[in-house]
Structure 1
Amino acid sequence: IRVRGENAFGFLQAESGVHRLVRISPFDAAKRRHTSFASVFVYPEIEGDITVEIRDEDIRIDTFRASSAGGQHVNKTSSAVRLTHMPTGIVISSQNERSQIQNREMAFKVLRARLFELERQKKKEALDQISGAGNKKENAWGSQIRSYVLQPYQIVKDHRTGIETSRVDEVLDGKLDLFIRGYLLARWEGKLFSGRPEDLPEV
């Protein structure tokens, strides 16, 4: 689901986590209560592609004679190329092509791919830090941030803030302001629940 609007991520990050639903399953002929879990992950959409810039002053180029697996020279010229990217310490060697120019081109292709992957990983780590993906928990009891109980009584309770309401239908229809604002205020005041999972109150 994509949500657009002013401060959309700032508000909806309050919904990241495990949500627990207790209901009478429509698929159970015995009409027993069933508990389900859903994991919600909220993250900002970051526009722009990754651009890899390789500056000449950041590269050290060394040439050497290419050798076969048996140690014999493939040729008598220094056709093999070794690139060292000084800022990252990445070293790329290429000696399988016939000429130094071809090996140089291949080495730069590999270096560009390595730098692209490095930047992609940095962006992913930054995104995980912003969105809290590193704190994502498994879908199980003790991990839930909020419980939605439809049977035998009706209540929605946020376990991080203690806020609850019996207006279950409104919440399930998307009226989340009570919980979102409560979460943001509690986080600002440092009053979010931070105890052990087994200390969560039964709902």
Structure 2
Amino acid sequence: MRERTVLEDGIKAVDTLRGDLDENLELIEMGEAEDDADIVSEAEAQLSEIALRARKAELMTLLSGEADANNCYLEIHAGAGGTEAQDWAEMMTRMYLRWAEAHGYKTEWLEESPGEEAGIKSATLKISGQNAYGWLKTESGVHRLVRISPYDSSARRHTSFSSVWVYPEVDDSINIEILDKDIRIDTYRASGAGGQHINKTDSAIRITHNPTGIVVQCQNDRSQHKNRAAAMKMLKARLYEHELNIREAAAQAEHEAKTDIGWGHQIRSYVLQPYQMVKDLRTNVETSNTSAVLDGDLDDFMAAALAQRVKGGDEEG
């Protein structure tokens, strides 16, 4: 039902854009034919608004990763630097909370480790809503702040670092699909105790899953049919466990691959002194409206980073 709603909303958005475009083009033709500059001017203004809506709709098509529609977890960790870095981590937490609020997402605090004097050492948030992971996944990385420290009595300029890690919420109710071409089923004569009948019939079942090399076998019942059904259940359970292990290993590898929270690793710089500038070092998107960014205005940065990923074929799932 969620997928159906997303598809219906997408089709409706395109149909509305097409209808509004045709209507205003007709108005321009009519205004020019009647030499009515007001009609032409109003229709042209509407075309600019339609173009803006079309760009937003185009951005939605970039959210095509397997887990993009999912809720997500967002972790923030202060880098080295004590109170200054911990205050920056708290500022970033507020920034993402404000972004989520502006987009109608539900937020839930899962963990918070306060700093010794101010700020936080770390925080974990769950952000729930359509495409939460798709938008926020581009925020993973190190964020650098340059400002006059409010904790420095000499009012010197300080540089602080905090890291962000975003990962999707995964539904554990995995649908295990086993293709006939991927398995080999062998029958063999059961061994061990069981009496005269069980030793004379090939009722035992062995199933080999070729892609993973997982092998299961069952010989509990005298019925080959029942043993096969039981073995298939065992295989599904093993494949489920296998998938969980892969996910855990991938998450661990990603966690270990996170770079040092310091110089040379940042994805975005937030400069408040000696000038006002926020610049994404991956896409070169920048703005001098630093207060708006720290209040959660991150859409331009996210959109550019997302477009860059898709263009480069680096779609995440």
TM range (shorter): 0.5 to 0.7
For these two proteins, the number of residue pairs brought into alignment is 174
Equivalent pair of 2:269/2:279 in contact (CA under 8 Å): yes
The answer to whether the 8 Å contact 1:80/1:93 transfers is: no
Closer/same/farther in 2, CA of residues 40 and 75 from structure 1, 3 Å limit: same
Q: 2:208 aligns with which of 67, 77, 85?
A: 85
CA contact (8 A) 1:149 1:156 kept: yes
> TM-score, normalization: structure 2?
0.40
Which residue, 300, 307, 312 being the options, matches 1:178?
300
How far apart are 1:175 and its partner, in Å?
0.8
Q: Does 1:40 find its partner at 2:165?
A: yes
| Distance of 2:133 and 2:281 partners within structure 1 | 21
User: Residue 171 and residue 53 in structure 1: after superposition, are their counterparts in 2 closer, same or farther (change >3 A)?
Assistant: closer
> Does the Cα contact within 8 Å between 2:136 and 2:166 map onto a contact in 1?
no
Letter in 1 for 2:295: D
Letter in 1 for 2:259: E
Q: Do 2:146 and 2:160's aligned partners in 1 also have CA atoms closer than 8 Å?
A: yes
Matched, 1:138 2:259: yes
Q: Which amino acid aligns with 2:258?
A: K
Displacement of 1:149 in angstroms is: 3.1
Query: Which AA in structure 2 matches 1:90?
Result: I
> Partner of 2:216: helix, strand, or coil?
strand
Aligned to 1:111: 235
Instruction: Pick one of 277, 282, 286 that aligns with 1:164.
Output: 286
Q: Which moved more, 1:140-149 or 1:18-27?
A: 18-27
Higher relative contact order (CA 8 A, sep 6+): 1
- Select which of 166, 176, 190 maps to 1:52: 176
Gaps of 5+ in 2: 1-125, 313-317
Change (3 A) 1:100 1:146: farther
Structure with the higher fraction of residues in helix conformation: 2
SS at 1:41 equivalent: strand
Instruction: Using the aligned pairs only, state the percent identity.
Output: 40
